[in-house]
Amino acid sequence: MNAPSPNAYTAYPDANGRFGDYGGRYVAETLMPLVLELGRAYDEAKNDPAFHAEMSGYMTHYVGRPSPLYFAERLTQHFGGAKIYFKRDELNHTGAHKINNCIGQILLARRMGKTRIIAETGAGQHGVATATVCARFGYPCIVYMGETDVERQKPNVFRMNLLGAEVRPVTSGTGTLKDAMNEAMRDWVTNVDDTYYIIGTAAGPHPYPAMVRDFQSVIGTEARAQMLEREGRLPDAVVACIGGGSNAIGLFHPFLADEGVRLIGVEAAGHGLSTGQHAASLTGGRPGVLHGNKTYLLQDDDGQIIDAHSISAGLDYPGIGPEHAWLHDVGRAQYVSATDDEALSAFQLCSQLEGIIPALEPAHALARVGDVAKELGKDAIVLMNLCGRGDKDIFTVAEALGSRL
């Protein structure tokens, strides 16, 4: 039981970067050779023990891994159902899971001889993590951030600047995460020789969805081992929030072969699914092609992408990583949603009962954890990824609650 054996769910993507019908490499021809080169470089690194040893060293001494597995006793009592555990990835350096992926990709960029780093960011967590590794490894760093997000995540913009990164506000579209990603792609296609693009989520052209998943799988691999040690068994359900889906796939993937473990992803329902103002691409979208991959997207009848809405900037994305699209279709994972209001309630509940201020992103997951815990009952165990801390969100939450800071 210590190492799950591979099954039909763990063998993806195929050589063309496909998870079933999803994924692929839908990029302009100018970028195609670069994307293929990245795929080859990642395959080599993946099979090089020295790459893993180096990454593991930084994970331990710089990121602070392994993150604890924490029994949320008071929330468990509050809901009166299954035991609730948190994987404490908010305790990582920079305060979220994003750094796991950035360490892997900056080491890959260095290995490839690239000299300039670009990234997109929504909430700013991935931007901060990228700026952090660029500072640590001595790379110039440009972060594209929608101007709406620049406004609502000012503390993170300041952090990125402190770390030496240049934040470029993006005014095209609605100035959120998808527009930042378009602009980062435009930068990449313009600076093909020296630039490495660190995508922050498990989306984009192959190999990004697989590579980001691999780097984030440290979350699930650790949690699985920790749970076996603590409880002597696997959890009955694991729950994570989903924007692009990198923390969720990082948690889910090491459990894919454990077919008794339910995998539950929580999308952002914004003002409510019926209002059309949400970010739930699986629940409210249909398959299409954006940002280099085929996946579920919020779109109109003409195939134009519809702007997502969520109180959480990190979930405010009209697509989802292609592996989630596939896990959804084959039924291995289940996808539900939580509204802005539900996330705000969970945010306060977690702060008050556990002394942990969660980011608004995992507050969405927590909003459904109570239901799952009640449904499964007292003998069961639910594991949730607390993928980020909430310091960055206090202004947003204060405003939503009518307080002035």
Partner 1 sequence: MRHNRIAARFAALKAEDRAGLITYVMAGDPDVETAFEILKGLPAAGADLIELGFPFSDPMAEGPPIQRAALRALKIGMTLRGTLDLVRRFRLEDKDTPIILMGYTNPVLSYGFGPFAQDAAAAGVDGLIIVDSPPEEADELSEALDIAGISLIRLTAPTTDDARLAIVVKRTSGFVYYVSVAGVTGVKEADAASVAPAVVRVRAASNLPVAVGFGIKTPERAAEVARIADAVVVGSALVDEIAAAAVTSAPAAAKVLASVSALAKAVRTARLDVNVTSV
Stretch binding partner 1 (CB under 8 A), from 172-180, 216-224, 329-337, 360-368:
172-180
Closest distance to partner 1 from the beta carbon of 333 (Å): 24
Looking at 56, 172, 275, 352, which residue binds partner 1 (CB under 8 A)?
172
Omega prior to 207 cis, within 30 of 0 = yes
What is the C-alpha radius of gyration for the chain, rounded to an integer number of angstroms? 19
Looking at 12, 13, 19, 24, which residue binds partner 1 (CB under 8 A)?
24
How many alpha carbons fall within 13 Å on the CB side of residue 187?
24
- 6 is an interface residue for partner 1 by CB under 8 A: no
Tokens 């406004």 correspond to 151
What are the φ/ψ torsions at residue 195 (nearest 5 degrees)? -100, 135
Looking at 47, 302, 355, 402, which residue binds partner 1 (CB under 8 A)?
302
Nearer to partner 1, 191 or 283 (CB): 191
- 40 is an interface residue for partner 1 by CB under 8 A: no
Looking at 34, 256, 315, 336, which residue binds partner 1 (CB under 8 A)?
34
56, 134, 142, 225, 384 from 228: Cα distances, Å: 22, 36, 41, 5, 15
Closest distance to partner 1 from the beta carbon of 211 (Å): 18
DSSP 349: H
**Per-residue b/e over 55-88, b at no fewer than 16 CB within 10 Å?**
beebbeeebebbbebbebeebbebbebbbbbbbb
Looking at 29, 50, 274, 331, which residue binds partner 1 (CB under 8 A)?
29
Looking at 235, 288, 358, 362, which residue binds partner 1 (CB under 8 A)?
288
Q: Edge-to-edge strand order for the sheet containing 166-170? A: 166-170, 141-146, 116-121, 195-198
- 21 is an interface residue for partner 1 by CB under 8 A: no
Stretch binding partner 1 (CB under 8 A), from 31-39, 161-169, 207-215, 326-334:
31-39
Nearer to partner 1, 63 or 211 (CB): 211
Nearer to partner 1, 290 or 372 (CB): 290
Helix (H) or strand (E) holding 57: helix 49-58
Closest distance to partner 1 from the beta carbon of 21 (Å): 11
- Alpha-carbon distance 146 to 158, whole Å? 15
To the nearest 10 degrees (0 to 180), the angle between helices 98-111 and 32-46 is: 100
Nearer to partner 1, 235 or 319 (CB): 319
Looking at 9, 13, 22, 25, which residue binds partner 1 (CB under 8 A)?
25
Site for partner 1, residues 109 to 168, rule: CB under 8 A: none
Looking at 5, 53, 304, 355, which residue binds partner 1 (CB under 8 A)?
304
Q: Hey, how many other C-beta atoms are within 10 angstroms of the C-beta on 29?
A: 7
- 309 is an interface residue for partner 1 by CB under 8 A: no
Stretch binding partner 1 (CB under 8 A), from 5-13, 187-195, 209-217, 272-280:
187-195
Looking at 5, 47, 190, 274, which residue binds partner 1 (CB under 8 A)?
190
Nearer to partner 1, 307 or 375 (CB): 307
Stretch binding partner 1 (CB under 8 A), from 183-191, 212-220, 346-354, 367-375:
183-191
Closest distance to partner 1 from the beta carbon of 323 (Å): 18
- Alpha-carbon distance 254 to 214, whole Å? 10
Helix (H) or strand (E) holding 334: strand 333-339
Closest distance to partner 1 from the beta carbon of 186 (Å): 5
- Residues contacting residue 172 through CB under 8 Å, at least 6 positions apart: 179, 182, 183
28, 44, 183, 184, 206 from 190: Cα distances, Å: 12, 26, 11, 10, 20
To the nearest 5 percent, what fractions of the chain are helix, strand and coil?
50, 20, 35
- 80 is an interface residue for partner 1 by CB under 8 A: no
Question: Which token pair is 212?
Answer: 């980001």
Nearer to partner 1, 216 or 281 (CB): 281
Which residues make up the interface to partner 1 (CB under 8 A)?
Answer: 16, 24-34, 172-173, 178-179, 182, 185-186, 189-192, 287-292, 297, 299, 301-305
